[in-house]
Structure 1
Amino acid sequence: MSPETGLGGPGARAEPDLVRLHLTDSALVIDPGGGELREDLVRPALPVDGGEIVCDPGIADPAGAGRMSARLLDGRVPEWVGLIYGPEVARAAGQMLDRTARPESDGAVGLTQTVHSTWFTRPSRAAWIFLRLAQGLWIRRYWPSPADGSALAIDPFLLDLELGALMRMEPVPVCFGSDAMESLVYGPHRDRIRGAAEHLRDHGAEDILVRKLHVLLRRALSWLIERIEDDEGDEDNEGDDGDGPGAGDEIDALWALYDDLGGLPRAVKQFYFAPVMREPRARRACVQPEDVWEGGSLVRHGTDALDWSQNFCGLLATDNDAVRWVVAPVRDGGFRLDVSVAVADRIAHDIDGARALARVPIPGFLPVLVELRPDEAGARLTGWAAVTADEMRAIDVVDVVSVPGARAPLRGPARERMRELQDGATRWARRRSRSVRQQVEAPDVQSWDLLVPRTIPAGLDLSMPWAAEVAAAQGIVMRP
């Protein structure tokens, strides 16, 4: 994105300014450029008031950066349509939906209209923020973890603080219609926000991030105060006698902390951050299949890719050969299938309790399931299962999952497509990580002040690093 050429950067085509609206039997679809974006691994969908927006942050194709498609699902035109696409598009959407309410609306399905706009070449504040949110939410859910450490290990607390700060910027709250999205990113850290703010006030922070942390934590404190006030209001409605711990005193203390962080930030070199613990590279060297067996002869072995969408972000290494499997004979004449998957470098010291399940589809039979747990070195999740000769010969996919309710394993062309998308996303993350590291080595102090702006500046673009990326590039993480 750039203010001169629009969301697509230098040489971007102007077709996305031509916004196509068309009615289906379930939604009014807004397609800038005439092609609807569908949610997939590299194009996240944001649930908004009365519909959804699918954004393209340019991960698979930089030329597509900035495109957004929308679906209106409840027969009305929410406020965000005008805020993002402009009043002309909102007006056309309203007229089309009005037709569906008339008695003669049977012919409205399939109705199409094209509107000329400048939403892409001169994006609004809301459009900028939504694209930035889409990128951050993608990083939150899918940021790759190659075993070689070539992509930065993102601190989830810092990333969530920045996402929450963006979600509180006007006019974003009205676009979501509730605080559900803020609760998604702030909620898991509710008990940590106050402590982090107090530590920042008392001890300062790294100078390259101190201003960002003051902005981020003040916005998080304002959210926390609202939640406590809401909780107190709910208790009052239930007839609480008010003799318990005073929420009013807690709110006053949080407002005082909020005010304290509004002063000039004090930068220091230590205290607030702790060095990242790095696993010695030699210990994390790849294990060859021949090393797994004690004198047993190999029968079959191979590797497979991890399906990111079916695994927790940051738990396992995401290289396309992260999953290893080996089949060898055992003394009773059967066969043993051993499966292992590399653990992401960032959790090598916090792997206790990590679990995953390997699913091996066998055509015409039940799948082979292998429960995976940490090995003694803490470098991989491993497990094994007994298999028959027929099952051994049928193995072509070993699908590892760590989220509940995972879909059936992808196979054939669908799995190859998954691998290609993930491989492209990993290359994108590696390039971005190299760029952030270079900026940290030779920082332009002014550029860091734009990480979480109070207003969206004309020059904001998707290459701007997140606070979590800056911290990771320096090899530091926030203390728990």
Structure 2
Amino acid sequence: MPERRCVITWAEDRTVRIAGPSAGATFTRAVLDVAGAVLTWPVLGPTGLPAAEIHDVGQAQQWLWAVYGERTAAAVDAVASGASADELTLPEQPTTLAESAARLALGHWAARWWPTSHLDGIPALEPDLLGLELAALTLECQQLLDNSGELEGAELLQEHLAALDPLIRWQQSAAPPRQLDRVLRLIDDAADNAGLDGEALRRLRSALEQDHGPTTTPLDLAELFVRQQEFALAAGSRRTATGRVIARGSGTNDWCRYPPGFVDAAEDAVSWTAYAFGAGRRIEVEVVADIAAPTGGVHLAAEVRVDGSPPNRVPLARRDDVWTGRADLDIPASTTPGIDVGILLPGFDPGPGADDRAAREAVRALARHRLGVAATPHGSEAAHPDPFLAEIAAATAVEEDF
């Protein structure tokens, strides 16, 4: 069995760290908060065992041995007690709990970073469907979690119950996914543990008890799960400027600078045009929108830099499926400016980072690959982790659209 080395160190911030596979940009990491620690897996590489930052060794001992093995659990305790850094050889094959944790972390990653894009042909994942599977996985990973993590699982279940009846119908159809029965039984157990009740949960319990097996009735998943808002793709259809075009281009679509669902994830979702009005100069910015919008009067903004100048923020207004904004540019009429445009949500924005276009394209490729696997009957035995139910539904809807 293949093996790898694992280094356990004591960090200056008084955490014990278990080194794992390296991860790059924030949106390429699957992260899970567990009892006494944070676990991290690289989304773009082999899953394997996670890296860990352990801030409470006592709490972490409830699961360390079940994820990394007893030798690692003992080494973590020794390093926390003052022993020197240790290096261990670990089997590459994860334990059952580690596999479930990796899948839960990947599901939370998909809820935050899935690159939904009409322009790139990557469909959205139905949030209630993904949320219910995450609630089920949370119960499966209960050994890893503290009270707040268990509470999060119950909240996920309550928040996404709208998908439960469609899931029951899917299970009773001619060709349900192989993992669906297990997910439904975990949801039933999670509801029982949390003391939840209601019509949908009672229907689930009845369906599981009867277990008449699948019917021969075909099922239209596109109709079963509510579609996300369709795009009208009005971007560029109603320009109001009448000046002379002096420059145009695509801006930077940094996913880290706004919450999920606000902007189409395509690299060319941000475009701009600079106009001349006599001696004056103006820029118009257009951004293809996704399904979400800020509340409370908050707006997205474009950050415009001209020839490396300090950024000028231009408020953007939502119009159908596009965010638009304009501003005058303070540049000499005799020059052709170098213009850079980025998109952000003020108050959310962590600040510009490195240009991670290659990483974003790798995430898009990963999404397309997972959708391709999900489109095969019952998923693929070689896929690890298996596609989420939301990916199977999304892949089926895409096939029906073409």
**TM-score band (shorter)?**
0.7 to 0.9
Per the alignment, residue 408 of structure 1 pairs with 351
Q: Tell me whether 1:112 sits opposite 2:85 in the alignment.
A: yes
Question: 1:369-388 alignment to 2 at 5 Å?
Answer: 369-375=313-319, 378-388=320-330
Please give the secondary structure, in 2, of the residue aligned with 1:90: helix
CA–CA distance in structure 2, aligned partners of residues 432 and 53 of structure 1? 23
Checking the alignment, whether the CA contact within 8 Å between 1:359 and 1:370 is kept in structure 2 is yes
Please give the secondary structure, in 2, of the residue aligned with 1:150: coil
CA–CA distance in structure 2, aligned partners of residues 325 and 41 of structure 1? 25
- Consecutive unaligned residues of structure 2, counting only runs of 5 or more, are none
Quick check: 292-301 or 129-138, which moved more?
292-301
CA–CA distance in structure 2, aligned partners of residues 45 and 200 of structure 1? 27
Q: Tell me whether 1:303 sits opposite 2:250 in the alignment.
A: yes
CA–CA distance in structure 1, aligned partners of residues 159 and 72 of structure 2? 42
Please give the secondary structure, in 2, of the residue aligned with 1:96: helix
Checking the alignment, whether the CA contact within 8 Å between 1:21 and 1:30 is kept in structure 2 is yes
Paired AA for residue 28 in structure 1: V
Note the C-alpha offset of 1:66: 2.1
TM-score, reference length from structure 1: 0.69
Per the alignment, residue 389 of structure 1 pairs with 331
Q: Tell me whether 1:46 sits opposite 2:17 in the alignment.
A: no
Checking the alignment, whether the CA contact within 8 Å between 2:270 and 2:288 is kept in structure 1 is yes
Checking the alignment, whether the CA contact within 8 Å between 2:126 and 2:228 is kept in structure 1 is no
Checking the alignment, whether the CA contact within 8 Å between 2:246 and 2:336 is kept in structure 1 is no
Please give the secondary structure, in 2, of the residue aligned with 1:284: coil
Aligned partner of 1:420 among 345, 358, 363 = 358
Please give the secondary structure, in 1, of the residue aligned with 2:340: coil
Per the alignment, residue 224 of structure 2 pairs with 273
CA–CA distance in structure 1, aligned partners of residues 389 and 169 of structure 2? 20
CA–CA distance in structure 2, aligned partners of residues 404 and 266 of structure 1? 50
Larger radius of gyration: 1
Aligned partner of 2:266 among 319, 327, 330 = 319
CA spacing shift, 1:352–1:189, aligned 2, 3 Å: farther
Checking the alignment, whether the CA contact within 8 Å between 2:28 and 2:42 is kept in structure 1 is yes
Per the alignment, residue 257 of structure 1 pairs with 203
Aligned partner of 1:84 among 67, 71, 85 = 67
Name the structure with the higher strand share: 2
CA spacing shift, 1:460–1:161, aligned 2, 3 Å: farther
CA–CA distance in structure 2, aligned partners of residues 469 and 210 of structure 1? 11
Please give the secondary structure, in 2, of the residue aligned with 1:298: strand
CA–CA distance in structure 2, aligned partners of residues 219 and 389 of structure 1? 62
Per the alignment, residue 462 of structure 1 pairs with 384
Paired AA for residue 466 in structure 1: F
Aligned partner of 2:143 among 152, 169, 174 = 174
Question: 1:200-211 alignment to 2 at 5 Å?
Answer: 206-209=173-176
Note the C-alpha offset of 1:199: 6.0
Aligned partner of 1:434 among 362, 366, 372 = 372
CA spacing shift, 1:422–1:97, aligned 2, 3 Å: same
TM-score, reference length from structure 2: 0.81
Note the C-alpha offset of 1:397: 2.7
CA–CA distance in structure 1, aligned partners of residues 116 and 156 of structure 2? 22
Per the alignment, residue 302 of structure 2 pairs with 358
Checking the alignment, whether the CA contact within 8 Å between 1:360 and 1:395 is kept in structure 2 is no
Per the alignment, residue 282 of structure 2 pairs with 336
Per the alignment, residue 243 of structure 1 pairs with none
Note the C-alpha offset of 1:358: 1.4
Note the C-alpha offset of 1:364: 8.8
Please give the secondary structure, in 1, of the residue aligned with 2:316: strand
Per the alignment, residue 190 of structure 1 pairs with 158
Checking the alignment, whether the CA contact within 8 Å between 1:360 and 1:398 is kept in structure 2 is yes
Note the C-alpha offset of 1:403: 7.2
Checking the alignment, whether the CA contact within 8 Å between 1:312 and 1:403 is kept in structure 2 is no
CA–CA distance in structure 1, aligned partners of residues 47 and 178 of structure 2? 29
CA–CA distance in structure 2, aligned partners of residues 161 and 51 of structure 1? 24
- Which structure is richer in relative contact order (CA contacts within 8 A, separation 6 or more)? 1
- Consecutive unaligned residues of structure 1, counting only runs of 5 or more, are 6-13, 100-107, 230-249, 449-458
Per the alignment, residue 93 of structure 1 pairs with 76
CA–CA distance in structure 2, aligned partners of residues 254 and 275 of structure 1? 17
1:206-237 superposed Cα distances (whole Å, 9 cap, x missing partner): 5433775554345335444554x4xxxxxxxx
CA–CA distance in structure 1, aligned partners of residues 104 and 110 of structure 2? 10
Note the C-alpha offset of 1:152: 3.4
CA spacing shift, 1:355–1:206, aligned 2, 3 Å: farther
1:248-298 superposed Cα distances (whole Å, 9 cap, x missing partner): xx8486764342131325544359705747858xx638749xx84654211
1:301-357 superposed Cα distances (whole Å, 9 cap, x missing partner): 2112311122232332222221101111236x432221111124xx4xx87979522
Quick check: 297-306 or 37-46, which moved more?
37-46
Please give the secondary structure, in 2, of the residue aligned with 1:321: coil
Checking the alignment, whether the CA contact within 8 Å between 1:323 and 1:341 is kept in structure 2 is yes
